[in-house]
Amino acid sequence: MSKQIRRCAFWMLVPSLIMMLLVSLYPLLDSIQMSFTNKNILKPNSVAFVGLSNFRKILTDPEFFDTIRVSLIYAFSCAFASFIIGLGIASLLNKKIKGRAVFRALLLIPWAIPTVVAASNWSYLLNDQYGLINTWLMQWHLIDSPILFLANTKLALLTVILVGTWKSYPFMALSLLAGMQSIDGSIYESAQIDGASGSQAFRYITLPSLKQISLVVTTLMFIWGFNNFDITFLMTQGGPLNATRSLAIYTYNLAFFRGRMGYSAAISILTFAIMIGFYSVYQRALHMEERQGK
């Protein structure tokens, strides 16, 4: 490739690079700067530099640690449940069955539906007054009174996790299915000749072959779940009694309802640091898998 072509390619990338810097880098730097101030929307003329005061308050804030707990429960549960469901569906679709292409297309429906639409539909279905699920359960005499899926502090988080799992398992299933189809079929044939059963082939061939892709997709799913905002906010707004208030919702409420922009910016920076920590653990695990594979 000549220098002229490389120079032309560089200048063609400059506009998009500038746009990406404006959209991602500038807000990050502005948040870092804001995290060291006491900026408050309700007091726009009293902004002052407070140093590490916001970060010290966060480390003694019980609400912050409660939202961390909720976010971790949601992220772990969605990642684990999506992996189990996705692995089962991928195993079925990996077999030669009639209509496999149709089932694969149907599998994408939850993933393709916009989150706003999905959350609104599930909120309607699970409503305790006019929701179809409660109506059907009562008509079938399975329950005597409506179940408060989104209004009960013990059920709300579980309900949101189930909806989040329903929304995300297609991604897991398709990723694992792609991994299964990359496995050499001759390995299964050799195992079958040696007398291995289907469950043994799945345990000793399929699962080990999916280690690397499983690590990638579960890590991505965990990070997405930890940062989840839309599904939980649209269905419960963090309620009832903060039972489903995640870290993202807490940060949003602090900034736009309580006006504490500086404090919420500090929480955002800590969240960013936590994500970097998760990513570092993921990279180490990935390198270990690669070394073991070699």
Sequence spans of domains, the chain: 37-43+50-293
The residue count of the chain comes to: 294
- Residue pair 147/132 in contact by the 8 Å Cβ criterion: no
The mean predicted confidence, pLDDT, of the chain is 87
| Cα–Cα distances in angstroms (integers) from residue 34 to residues 55, 134, 248, 266, in the given order | 12, 47, 17, 8
Summarize pLDDT for 35-86 with one digit per residue, the tens: 999 998 888 788 889 889 999 999 899 999 999 999 999 999 999 999 999 9
Cis amide leading into 110 (omega within 30): no
d(CA 284, CA 30): 31
Task: Tell me the torsion sign for CA atoms 261, 266, 269, 274.
Answer: negative
Rounded to the nearest 5 percent, the helix, strand and coil shares of the chain are: 75, 0, 25
CB neighbour list of residue 93: distance below 8 Å, 6 or more residues apart: 100, 103, 104, 107, 173, 177
Q: At what angle do helices 156-181 and 62-93 cross, to 10 degrees?
A: 40
Q: Please tell me the pTM assigned to this model.
A: 0.88
Summarize pLDDT for 135-186 with one digit per residue, the tens: 999 999 888 889 999 999 989 999 999 999 999 999 999 999 988 888 887 8
Beta bridge partners of 49: 37
- Residue pair 153/241 in contact by the 8 Å Cβ criterion: yes
Counting Cα atoms < 13 Å in the Cβ hemisphere of 225 gives: 33
Is domain 37-43+50-293 in CATH 1.10.3720.10, yes or no?
A: yes
